Amino acid sequence: MAIEAAHARVPLSVGARLNGLNHVAELRARYGSDSGKELARFMAELRDKRDPCFEENSRALAAIFFLARLPVARHECDISELTTEEKRALINAMNHFRAVVRERVMRNSENRPYPIGSEELKRLLMEAKTEERCARALAVSLRLEALASHICKTGMSGEDVAELLCHEAARYERESQELH
């Protein structure tokens, strides 16, 4: 029997959201999802010098390491060189950023009246959607180019390429789910 009620959204504090995200991360680590591979891929993406946002990515990564309270000497380590506790601290730091940003986005998305006409608003929304689509297409194009370069540089086999593409598809799916 389904529970029928009006949809309700209960606001979570940053701390409650952070605790939930960290709990899910612990469950994933314990029962299956190999967060080490995901973490390694995330770090590799942020450290990619070909990325047009490399400087900003480096600063973001430094902020994550700082929030995780890892010594500066450990900031350049490969993910495989980090201890389990250090990896857990990094994941918790990233979850902290997610919780804070999510809270900020929710506050900014409250309904507010717009003093412009509905036709003007429709035009502005259509413009924004078009710009967003262009930006997404460019991001996908750059990512595919980086993958192609990586595949050629490492001389991956067809099976390895297929696995890489499956991981990439899963990454896009996760991003899509986070947006909805």
Looking at residue 34, what is its pLDDT?
Answer: 62
Looking at residue 1, what is its pLDDT?
Answer: 45
Looking at residue 124, what is its pLDDT?
Answer: 80
**Spatial CB neighbours of 142, under 8 Å, sequence gap ≥ 6:** 51, 52
10-residue stretch averages of pLDDT, the chain, 180 residues long: 52 81 81 73 89 89 91 88 90 88 63 65 83 80 82 88 86 75
Looking at residue 151, what is its pLDDT?
Answer: 87
Looking at residue 115, what is its pLDDT?
Answer: 60
Looking at residue 85, what is its pLDDT?
Answer: 92
Instruction: Quickly count helices (H) and strands (E) in the chain.
Output: 6, 0
Q: Which of 63, 75, 50, 82 is nearest to 146 (CA)?
A: 50
Total residues found in the chain within this entry:
180
Please name the residue that has the structure tokens 């990094």: 90
